[in-house]
């Protein structure tokens, strides 16, 4: 892939699913990856798989802005720069509002909205200083459509799109690109964050019958990254072919 080799890419939520598979594709294409997630053992195993010379790993919970800043500082200290920030960490606690799963609402907002904001805040000064960089923020089909039972999750993913569009307009003087990826059902651990009784079972069945491989997401990342510097791919919405929502 053109314009990917040699780039330094930081990925949150990198211990499994979209983040881990994207790291595999990036390293294969010649990039260096900084991998951040809560599960350090998973990061260690992924770094061994990819080759330690290609990776920097850091234990980070994206709800803690200090940890996110430390993660990006570690990436820059290891590789000398950062070229792409992939704000990928996310959860999907679905359930009707009447169930009043208030702690889940709180966590969803902290991870899916604030986690993206902390990633932007950590990487933006580096991008401004070098007059280049790319944010890749992960929304969802739910960031385009609201259904009964997904109001809070959809609200957070709509927010990712709004934040990304505002960011896109603001960073033009610094030659920074901004991309939103909105996947449908992809085969990851995301459905495991659905805990509501009577909802989790249906989501698990839906993903089992519909989800496409995480490599579909990774290819979208590489497509957006590989464009010439003057081309800014702002949004990619993709689904399994048989997904109606």
pTM, rounded to two decimals:
0.96
pLDDT at 2: 83
Q: Domains in the chain, please, with CATH?
A: 8-237 (3.40.50.720)
CB atoms within 10 A of CB 227: 15
Judge whether 89 and 12 are in contact, CB under 8 Å: yes
Distance CA 103, CA 215 (A): 32
pLDDT tens, position by position, for the chain (245 residues)? Answer: 689 999 999 999 999 999 999 999 999 999 999 999 999 999 999 999 999 999 999 999 999 999 999 999 999 999 999 999 999 999 999 999 999 999 999 999 999 999 999 999 999 999 999 999 999 999 999 999 999 999 999 999 999 999 999 999 999 999 999 999 999 999 999 989 999 999 999 999 999 999 999 999 999 999 999 999 999 999 999 999 999 88
Active site residues: 153
Q: Do residues 135 and 167 lie in contact, with contact meaning Cβ atoms separated by under 8 Å?
A: yes
- Residue 245 pLDDT: 83
Q: What's the pLDDT score for residue 194? A: 93
Q: Rounded to whole angstroms, how far apart are CA atoms 165 and 216?
A: 23
Q: Find out whether 37 and 63 touch, Cβ atoms under 8 Å.
A: no
Q: Taking a C-beta distance cutoff of 8 angstroms, is the pair 26, 88 a contact? A: no
Residue 37: both structure tokens together: 């997630």
Residue 189: phi and psi, rounded to 5, are -85, 0
Residue (of 139, 191, 195) closest to 167 by Cα position: 139
CA dist 214 and 52 (Å) reads 22
Backbone angles phi, psi at 212, to 5 degrees: -100, 165
């Amino acid at each position: 892939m053109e314009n990917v080799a040699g780039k330094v890419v930081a990925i949150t939520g990198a211990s499994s699913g979209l983040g881990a598979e994207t790291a595999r594709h990036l390293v294969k294409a010649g990039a260096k990856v900084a991998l951040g997630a809560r599960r350090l053992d998973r990061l260690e195993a992924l770094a061994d798989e990819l080759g330690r010379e290609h990776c920097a790993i850091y234990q980070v919970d994206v709800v803690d802005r200090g940890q996110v800043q430390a993660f990006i500082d570690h990436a820059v200290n290891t590789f000398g720069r950062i070229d792409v920030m992939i704000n990928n960490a996310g959860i999907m606690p679905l359930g009707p509002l009447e169930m009043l799963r208030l702690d889940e609402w709180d966590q969803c907002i902290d991870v899916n909205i604030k986690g993206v904001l902390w990633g932007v805040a950590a990487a933006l000064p580096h991008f401004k200083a070098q007059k280049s960089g790319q944010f890749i923020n992960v929304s969802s089909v739910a960031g385009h459509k609201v259904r009964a039972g997904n109001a809070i999750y959809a609200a957070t993913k709509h927010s990712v799109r709004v934040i990304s569009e505002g960011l896109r307009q603001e960073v033009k003087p610094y030659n920074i690109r901004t991309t939103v990826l909105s996947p449908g059902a992809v085969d990851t651990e995301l459905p495991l964050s659905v805990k509501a009784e009577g909802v989790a079972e249906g989501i698990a069945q839906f993903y089992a019958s519909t989800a496409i491989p995480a490599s579909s997401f990774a290819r979208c990342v590489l497509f957006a990254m590989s464009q010439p510097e003057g081309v800014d791919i702002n949004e990619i919405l993709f689904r399994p072919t048989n997904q109606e929502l």
